[in-house]
Chains A and B, each alone.
Chain A
Amino acid sequence: MYSIANLQNIVDNPYPYLQNLKNEKGKKIIGTVCTYAPEEIIHAAGALPVRLFSSEAAIHRADLHLQAYCCSLVRGILEEALADRLDFLDGMVFPHTCDSIQRLSDVWRINLTKTFHADVVLPVKLTTASARQYMIDVLDRFRSDLAGYLGKEITVEDLSSSVKLYNENRSLMEKLYRLRSKHPEVMGGRDYHTIVRAAMIVEREVFRESLEAIVDGLEKKVGSAGPSQAKRLVICGGVCTSPDIYDAIEEAGGVVVGDDLCTGRRYFDVLVDETHPPLEAMADRLIKRAVCPAKHTGITSRADNIIRTVRDSRADGVVFLLLKFCDPHAFDYPYMRDMLEREKIPSLLLEIEDQSQAGGQLQTRLETFVQIL
C-alpha cells in the first residue's frame, strides 16, 4: 500500500517503478496515450496499462520525425521512446483521437522496434447505434489481437473482474473528487493531481488499497480545519502534467473544485454497467463519459458539461488550460467561453506547453483573475 508521498515518487519517476515490476513479477507493461484506451482489456490480459506523458528532457530526436508545430505532448512521448527510455514497454496502444496522435502511431510503427502495436480506431461520432456497434467490434478486435500477442486467452470472466476493479477505482476517484470539491481544505491540488496521475500508472489492485486508505484518512479530516475561503475554480483542458498550476492557483487565492481534463475527471467519469456483457458495457461507458473534443456527442456537449460542472461545484470561474498546438481544444475554446459568458461565468485562458513550469506572468494573470471573481 502506498502513501501520497510514495505515489508522488512513482509519478515523478515512473520508469524505475515499472522496470522493477517487470523484473520482479514478470509484469507485461503496455503504454497508452489517451483516456479512451480500453484499459480493462489490457488489465484482463494480465498486463499493466500505463499512460505515457511527455519528456522532461530537451526534444531533439523527435525533431527528425515531427515538426515544431506538433504539440509538446506528442513530441515528448516520441522523444522518450527514441531515447530508449521506454524500452521496458511490451507494447503500445494508440486509441484514435486527434490527428497528431494518429500520426504518432504511424511514426512509432515505422521507426521503433517491434513490440505489440495496436491502433484502436474507435468511432469519432458517438451518437448512433451503428457507431456503438462499431465501438464494440473494435474493442473485440483489440481483445483478440492482444490475446494473440500475449498468448493468453482473455475470457468474459477475466473482463468482468477487471471491469469490477476499474469501477472500484473510478468510484473511489469520484469520491475523492467530490470530497475535495466540497471540502477543498482537506487536500491540496498538487496531491489530487498526483493521485490522478498515479491512477494511470500504479498496479491497479495496489492503487485501490492505497486510494481507499487515503480517502478514509481525508474523510476523517473533514471539519478539522475551517472551510476554505479561496475562490472556487474549475479547470478545463487536455492533459495537465504540471502540478505547479495547482500551486499557482492556490497562491493566487483560488482552489480547484472541479475539472474537465484528461488528467482528471475524464479519466474516471461514469462506471461500466456490470450487469451487461463487458465489451458492450465498456463501449457504453466510453460513449457516456465526459467527451474529449476530438469526439462528437453533440454540438454543445462540452460547454453544457462545463456549465453543469460549475453549477454542481458552486464554482466562481473557469480556467482554460490550452496546450499549444492542441487543435481540438483550441477549436472549442471560443464557443465555450461565449456560452460561459452568457451564463455570467467568468473564464481565463492560459496557453501552456507540456513541460512548462508556472512562471511569473502566469501567476500574475491568475491573481488578477481571482481578484475579479
Chain B
Amino acid sequence: MNQSDPGTMKTLGVYLFGQAKKLSLKFKKAPTMKDLMMVYYSEAKSAKITGRKVAWITSGGPVEPLIAMDVIPIYPENHGAMIGASKMGAGLCEKAETMGYSNDLCSYARSDIACATVNGGPIGGLPRPDMLVCCNNICGTVLKWYETQARYFNVPLFILDTPFCHTGYFDEAARYVRSQIDEYIEFIEGVCGKKYDFERLRQVGLLSFEGQKLWQAVLDTAAARPAPMSAFDAFYHLALIVTLRGTKTAVRYYQNLLAQMKDRVARGIGVVPDEKYRLLWDNIPIWPRVRWLSQKFASHNACLVADTYTSAWCGSMKYIDENRFIDSMAEAYTRIYLNIGVDEMAKTVIEMIDKYDVDGLVLHSNRSCKPYSFGQLDIERIVGEQRGIPCLMLEADMVDDRSFSESQIATRIDAFMEIIKERAKSRN
C-alpha cells in the first residue's frame, strides 16, 4: 500500500471507522438502522482494502447469490432514495440534464448517473462496482440505466430478464428464468474467480426467507388499531430488507423491530396520536417530502397504515420454497408486484384495503416511474367500484423536488380529508 496516496489513506480511515463501529455494535442490544447503514457503507467503501467484490444491483434483483459469495451488494436505487431524502435530488438531476438526459427520465437514474461522475450526494458517491446486476422485474428503465453505468465503469453487466406476467407465469418463462439463475451463478464465479458455494447459498436462502417473513410480520402489526407504525416508518425500516436480505443482520434487526411493534400494540400505543383515520399509500415515497407528508396527514389524525411499495419485498413469498430456494427464486423474482398486470395489482390493493381496514387510498402519480404509475387511474376506479372508499391522486416525483407543489398538494390533502371525515360522521 502506498502510504502517501491520500485516496488510499481515506479508504483506510473509512475501513477502520467501519471496523470500530462494527465492534461497538457487538455490545449493543438493538443497533439502529443508522448504525447498520454506517457499517454497511464503510465496508462497501473500503472493499478495495479487504479485497471483497462490489456488485451494483437493482432493488428487485436476486441478492442472495451475491451474499453467498461474500460480494457486497450496492443499490443505486437506495442511493437515489437517500439523495431524494437529503434534498440533493434537484441539483443532481439538473447535472444529468446538462449531460443530455431528458428531465422526463427516472430521477433515481438521473441522480445516480450524475452522481457517479462527480462523487457527490449525501455519502460522497457509491463505491466503484466490480460488476453490475440488472434484473428488469421492476421496469425497463433499469436496463438503460445499467447499460449507461456499464459503459461508464467498463465492468461486466449481467441482465436477469424476467418476462412480464400480464396474465400469468408461463412454462417457457419459468424455464428461461431458471436457466438464467445458472447463468447468473456462472457470471458471479467468473467475476470472483472462485467456485460457487451452493451450501452457503442454501443458508442464505433460509435467512432471506426468514427476513421476508419477519418484514411481513412487522408490516402486519399496522393492522392493529391504533397502528404502532405507519408507512412512513416502513419507508425507513425498509432499507435492510432491500440491501441485506439473506443476512443474520437483517433477521436480528427485524426480530427486534417486531418485538417493539408487538409491545406497542399490546400497550395500545399508536404512532399517530389520537389516530382516527387510516389510509393506504400507493407507489414509491416522495422522498424529499416524507416528513412533511407524515406531519400533514397526522395533523388530520390520519395514519398511513400501509403501502404497496414496502410490501413488495415480501409480496412474492408465496412462490418461495425455502428448501428449494434456488429453483423457487426464479418464480418469486419474476412475479413481484410491479411485474404483473394492472388487474392483479388492483386485486392486491383491495386485499390490503381489507386487511388494514383503511378509510381511503392515496396514490402518488410518480413522474419518474411509469410502470408503477400507468394503471393507477384504473386501480383508483376499481377500488372506487369495489370498496367505495375515497381516493386521492398526488402528482409528484420520488426524488426531483421541482415537481412538488406544496400549496396545491396541501389544499388537495385538506379537501380529501374533509371527505373522509364527512363519511366517518355519516357512518356514526
Chain A interface (Cβ within 8 Å of chain B)? 64-67, 69-70, 96-100, 102-107, 109-111, 119, 121, 123-125, 128, 130-131, 133-134, 137-138, 141, 293-294, 296, 299-300, 322, 324-325, 327-328, 330-335, 337, 349, 351
Contacts and interface: CB of A to CB of B under 8 A. Distances in A.
B194 interface: no
Of the candidates A99, A137, A324, the one having the most CB atoms from chain B within 10 angstroms of its own CB is A99
B100 A105 contact: no
A134 B176 contact: yes
Contacts of B102: 322, 330, 333, 351
A141 B170 contact: yes
A124 B159 CA distance: 9
Contacts of A128: 180, 183
A67 B105 contact: no
B147 A330 contact: no
Contacts of B180: 128, 130
A125 B395 CA distance: 33
Given A141-B172, A333-B100, A109 B166 contact: yes
A308 to B, nearest CB: 18
Interface stretch (B9-17, B68-76, B135-143, B417-425): B135-143
Given A99-B140, A107-B342, A325-B104, A334 B163 contact: no
B371 A99 contact: yes
Contact of A134 (B101, B175, B371, B375): B175
Q: Which of B104, B145, B175 has the most CB of A within 10 A?
A: B104
A281 B293 CA distance: 55
B189 interface: no
A109 B179 CA distance: 30
Contacts of B157: 299
22 contacts: A64-B377, A67-B373, A67-B395, A69-B367, A70-B370, A99-B139, A99-B140, A103-B342, A107-B374, A121-B166, A125-B161, A130-B176, A133-B175, A138-B172, A296-B143, A327-B105, A327-B106, A327-B140, A334-B99, A334-B101, A337-B100, A349-B100
A128 B179 CA distance: 11
Contacts of A123: 161, 163, 176
* Best-surrounded residue of B102, B180, B378 (most CB of chain A within 10 A): B102
B141 to A, nearest CB: 6
Contacts of B109: 331
B144 A327 contact: yes
B365 A67 contact: yes
Interface in B357-379: 365, 367, 370-371, 373-378
Contacts of A124: 136, 140, 143, 159, 161
A304 to B, nearest CB: 12
Nearest to A328: B144
B185 interface: no
Contacts of A119: 164, 166-167
Interface centre among A65, A69, A96, A104 (most CB of B within 10 A): A69
A340 to B, nearest CB: 12
Contact of B183 (A70, A105, A130, A330): A130
A118 B167 CA distance: 10
A131 B161 contact: yes
A121 B105 contact: no
Interface string B56-88: 000000000000000000000000000000000
A243 B15 CA distance: 60
Nearest to A136: B172
Nearest to B101: A334
Nearest to A140: B172
B378 A96 contact: no
Interface string B179-204: 11001000000000000000000000
